[in-house]
C-alpha cells in the first residue's frame, strides 16, 4: 500500500461483497478467499471522516498562502483507523476518475499513502514520500533535494489527498522527530493537497506538545475512532455492527440472528474494537468452512485465539461450583 501501484490496485479492485440472493453457490475456495478479505462495514467513523475530508478539500482548494486545514484519525489500537483512512482514499480516487475520466487522469495520482518509519528522520520520511511515486533517490542526494523532487512530482501528479499513517511515531521532543515534523509542515505548504493523518491515541503522545505540536493542533481537526460502546442511549451500535457483519457471511447453514444474540459476549471478547471483532468473525467463518459445519456458534468462537490485546482484556466468567458435592 505504500506505493502508488498498490493504492491504485486497492482502489480499483471491486470491494468484497456477499453473493446476491438466488445466485449459484460459490465454491469452497471462493468462499475462503471471500471471508479472508471480507466486507468493510460503513462505520460512523468512516462516515464522519469522508464528510470532513470532502469539506476540507473544498475549503482548501483555492488556499495558496498557508497550509490547508487537515485532520487526524485517532483512537486505540485495532479501532479501524487505517481502514477508515484507506476507505476514504479509495472513495477520493474513484470520484476523481469518475469526474475527469480514465483517459484524462492517466499519469495522475490523486491519492498518496505514506507510513511514518520507526524513529524516522526527516530524510528517511522524505524518502518514503519519494518511494510512493517511484521518484529516483540516490545516496548522494540531500534531504532538500529529495523534498524538492517530492513537491515537484506530487504537484505534477495532481495529488489531492495525502494520507500519513502511524503519525504517533513522531516525537517532536527529539531532534529527529522535530525535523520530521518540520518536513511535514513544509510539505503541507508546498503541495496543494489536503493532509489526513492516523495514529494511536495521538492526544496522549508528545505529538501536540511544544511549538510544532501547537502548529499541528491549530490546523488539524480530530476524528475519534474509538471502540464501539455496547449501548449508547437507546441505541446499540456494537450489536448493529455485528448484525451488518453477520449479514455478509457466506455460510450455508448459519442461522441469522445468532451473532447479534451473542453481542454481550462478543463485546467482552473484543473490548468493542472493530479490528478484533472482524478478525474473530472472519476466523470463525473460515473454521466453519474448513470443518464443514457452515455455521458460527459460541463454541466456534470460544475456540479461536484472538490478538493478545483482546485476550488480555477478556476474562471469562468462572462457572459456579455445584452445591451437590459429597465428602468422604
Q: Is 210 left (phi over 0), alpha (psi -120 to 50) or beta?
A: left
Per-residue confidence (pLDDT) for residue 28, from 0 to 100 = 96
* Cβ count within 10 A of residue 198: 28
pTM of the model: 0.86
For residues 67 and 70, give the distance between their C-alpha atoms in angstroms, rounded to a whole number: 9
Q: Is 80 left (phi over 0), alpha (psi -120 to 50) or beta?
A: left
Cell 526527516 -> residue: 122
- H-helix segments, 117-194: 122-132, 143-156, 175-190
How many Cα neighbours within 13 Å face the side chain of 72? 20
Digitized pLDDT (tens) for each residue of the chain, 328 residues in all: 789 999 999 999 988 888 888 889 999 999 999 999 998 888 888 888 889 988 888 887 776 666 678 999 999 888 889 999 999 999 999 998 888 887 767 889 999 999 999 989 999 999 999 999 999 999 999 999 999 999 999 999 999 999 999 999 998 889 998 999 999 999 998 998 999 999 999 988 888 888 888 888 888 888 988 888 888 888 899 999 999 999 999 999 999 999 999 999 999 999 898 989 999 999 999 999 999 999 999 999 999 988 776 777 776 765 455 455 443 3
Contact predicate 52/17, CB 8 Å: no
Per-residue confidence (pLDDT) for residue 290, from 0 to 100 = 96
Strand order across the 194-200 sheet: 111-115, 161-165, 194-200, 70-75, 220-224
Which residues sit opposite 222 in a β-bridge? 72
Contact predicate 268/314, CB 8 Å: yes
The percent of residues above 90 in pLDDT, for the chain, comes to 55
How does pLDDT run across 159-170, given as a tens digit for each residue? 999 999 999 999
Contact predicate 2/113, CB 8 Å: yes
Per-residue confidence (pLDDT) for residue 307, from 0 to 100 = 75
How does pLDDT run across 252-261, given as a tens digit for each residue? 999 999 999 9
Which residues contact residue 16 at a Cβ distance below 8 angstroms, ignoring those fewer than 6 apart?
Answer: 34, 37, 38, 39, 40
For residues 27 and 61, give the distance between their C-alpha atoms in angstroms, rounded to a whole number: 48
Amino acid at each position: 500500500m505504500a506505493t502508488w501501484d498498490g493504492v491504485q490496485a486497492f482502489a480499483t479492485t471491486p470491494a468484497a461483497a456477499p453473493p446476491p440472493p438466488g445466485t449459484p453457490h460459490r465454491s469452497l475456495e471462493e468462499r475462503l478467499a471471500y471471508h479472508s478479505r471480507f466486507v468493510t462495514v460503513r462505520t460512523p467513523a468512516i462516515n464522519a471522516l469522508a464528510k470532513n475530508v470532502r469539506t476540507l478539500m473544498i475549503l482548501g482548494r483555492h488556499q495558496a498562502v498557508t497550509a490547508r486545514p487537515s485532520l487526524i484519525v485517532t483512537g486505540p489500537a485495532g479501532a479501524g483507523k487505517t481502514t477508515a483512512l484507506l476507505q476514504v482514499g479509495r472513495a477520493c480516487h474513484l470520484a476523481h476518475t469518475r469526474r475527469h475520466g480514465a483517459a484524462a487522469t492517466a499519469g495522475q495520482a490523486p491519492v498518496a499513502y505514506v507510513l511514518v518509519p520507526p524513529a524516522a528522520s526527516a530524510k528517511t520520511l522524505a524518502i518514503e514520500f519519494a518511494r510512493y511515486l517511484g521518484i529516483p533517490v540516490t545516496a548522494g542526494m540531500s534531504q532538500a533535494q529529495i523534498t524538492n523532487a517530492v513537491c515537484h512530482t506530487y504537484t505534477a501528479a495532481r495529488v489531492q489527498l495525502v494520507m500519513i499513517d502511524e503519525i504517533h511515531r513522531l516525537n517532536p521532543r527529539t531532534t529527529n522527530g522535530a525535523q520530521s515534523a518540520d518536513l511535514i509542515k513544509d510539505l503541507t505548504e508546498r503541495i496543494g493537497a489536503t493532509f489526513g493523518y492516523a495514529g494511536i491515541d495521538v492526544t496522549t503522545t508528545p505529538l501536540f506538545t511544544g511549538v510544532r505540536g501547537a502548529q499541528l493542533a491549530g490546523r488539524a481537526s480530530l476524528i475519534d475512532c474509538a471502540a464501539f460502546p455496547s449501548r449508547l442511549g437507546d441505541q446499540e451500535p456494537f450489536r448493529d455492527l455485528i448484525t451488518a457483519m453477520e449479514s455478509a457471511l457466506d455460510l450455508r447453514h448459519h442461522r441469522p440472528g445468532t451473532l447479534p444474540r451473542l453481542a454481550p459476549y462478543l463485546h467482552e471478547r473484543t473490548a468493542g474494537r472493530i479490528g478484533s471483532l472482524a478478525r474473530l468473525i472472519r476466523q470463525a467463518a473460515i473454521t466453519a468452512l474448513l470443518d464443514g459445519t457452515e455455521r458460527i456458534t459460541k463454541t466456534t468462537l470460544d475456540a479461536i485465539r484472538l490478538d493478545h490485546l483482546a485476550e488480555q482484556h477478556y476474562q471469562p466468567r468462572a462457572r459456579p461450583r455445584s452445591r451437590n458435592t459429597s465428602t468422604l
